[in-house]
Copies of this chain bind each other. A is one copy, B any other.
Amino acid sequence: MAAVPTLLVLDADPPPRLGRLTGRARVVHADAATLAERLPAADVLLVWDFASHAVRAAWPGEGARPRWVHTASAGVDHLMCPELAASDTVVTNARGIFDEPIAEYVAALVLALAKDLPRTWELQGRREWRHRESRRVAGTRAVVVGSGPIGRAVVRTLKALGVTTALVGRVPRTGVHGPDDLDRLLARADWVVAAAPLTESTRGMFDLRRFGVMQPSACFLNVGRGQLVVEDALVEALEKRWIAGAALDVFAAEPLAADSPLWRMPGLLVSPHMSGDTVGWRDELGAQFVELFERWAAGRPLVNVVDKQRGYVPGH
């Protein structure tokens, strides 16, 4: 590659580790307002601000387009559009960075719910000593929806705690149930964990009917994407005690609006899309991109390549 390629970075704060590309990339920054005008001159687009929908808005516009887009996130739903999907542009994601952190976060939520910790801290606030019996986690059953590396890490971690797990993916294969098994598995699960990518076939999959299938003692956890869940249906399921509790780390609209009823829904734990973000994560994301860039610049094949039709990196 004779000319130094132009790397366009969509972000508010500059990503760490890009200093390593000094002399090997001309780094240009853009925000939502300037992305459209800067896209045509870019060879590579790094979507560092993974909460932004600016790519989806700017991509269908005029002019040349980068040959490669990398997003510093596991999900690609925020940037995909028909024009990008139909193009020759390669899309890669941050596969691998979030798996273990999210699995630990799910374990934290499952254990906190089983041990009734939120109620304990509510009672602490009132200086009330009220002994209760809590639940064992070992011997309970979890269904994890989403058979990518995040879902598989969740399964490993829950298994290590003695939980019996079932993994559900888009197609049945060894160790993975297909969608046809989902309702039967939901009907006997103590924990239902949503860890799937947002695609046309997963959008709204946790609806009133599916919450109705679950056990009254079950808890629902979402660490995937907010739009996997019909939020009104979850509220109804909690109000009617169809399920015992829920924990959401992701929401249809983020940040969650201050007037959302979800904040105050009894039995629902709200966290601000942080399940995968452990100390050092931005540095790891930066290092992962630099490594991919070096592959790309050397003409070697990229890894973490997203199947743009399916909306995720196909795995084993």
In the complex, whether A170 has a CB less than 8 A from a CB of chain B is no
Interface contact A271-B160, CB-CB below 8 Å = no
Given contacts A278-B135, A279-B135, contact A118 B115 (CB under 8 A): no
| Residue ID in chain B nearest A271 by CB atoms | B120
In the complex, whether A33 has a CB less than 8 A from a CB of chain B is no
In the complex, whether A226 has a CB less than 8 A from a CB of chain B is no
Instruction: Count the copies.
Output: 2
In the complex, whether A107 has a CB less than 8 A from a CB of chain B is yes
Interface contact B124-A270, CB-CB below 8 Å = yes
Complex interface: chain B residues within 8 A of A274 (CB): 120, 131-134
Interface contact A277-B111, CB-CB below 8 Å = no
In the complex, whether A230 has a CB less than 8 A from a CB of chain B is no
Interface contact A121-B269, CB-CB below 8 Å = yes
Complex interface: chain B residues within 8 A of A270 (CB): 120, 124
Interface contact A256-B157, CB-CB below 8 Å = no
| Residue ID in chain B nearest A249 by CB atoms | B120
Most chain B CB within 10 A, of A100, A120, A133, A134, is at A134
**Which of B108, B130, B136, B280 is the one whose CB lies under 8 Å from A115?**
B108
Q: Which residues of A contact B (CB under 8 A)?
A: 100-101, 104-105, 107-109, 111-112, 114-115, 117-118, 120-121, 123-124, 127, 129-138, 157, 160-161, 254-256, 258, 260, 263-264, 269-274, 277-281
